Amino acid sequence: MSVEEEVIELVARKTGKSKDKVTPEKTFYQLGIDGDDAVELIDELCERYKVPVEGINLRRYIGPEASFGVISHIFNAVTRKSHVEPEEHKELKISDLIKTAEDHRWFDTPLVSR
């Protein structure tokens, strides 16, 4: 199974949507993914594909309805952020998750040259 198929299967399972409805161009909003469900989905994806969580600011993609409980506190502790100022909300697409899984790093994290 390809990474794209695995990610689509993960999203379908976590959301209860048919795999036919989960396509790379769909946004979280279009699929009704928000709040704690979005945080849990991203957490599982990062764990499964060994994506480092440092530098991931979920508040850029997930609206204020998320409780940002334990998972968010872990993200903030790792990135040493105790308070994050509101910033422009960006649409998260399934293709972003696929790229994250394929690259084993958050899709919009800049590459650091050594």
pLDDT band of 53, cuts 50, 70, 90: confident
Residue showing tokens 């899709």: 107
Mean pLDDT of 1-5: 96
pLDDT value, residue 110: 76
Q: How far is CA 23 from CA 4, 5, 74, 98, in A?
A: 9, 10, 30, 10
Mean pLDDT of 55-64: 80
Mean pLDDT of 30-36: 92
Domains of the chain: 3-103 (1.10.1200)
3-state helix, strand, coil in the chain (%, to 5): 50, 0, 50
DSSP count for the chain of H helices, then E strands: 5, 0
Percent of the chain with pLDDT over 90: 58
Length of the chain: 114
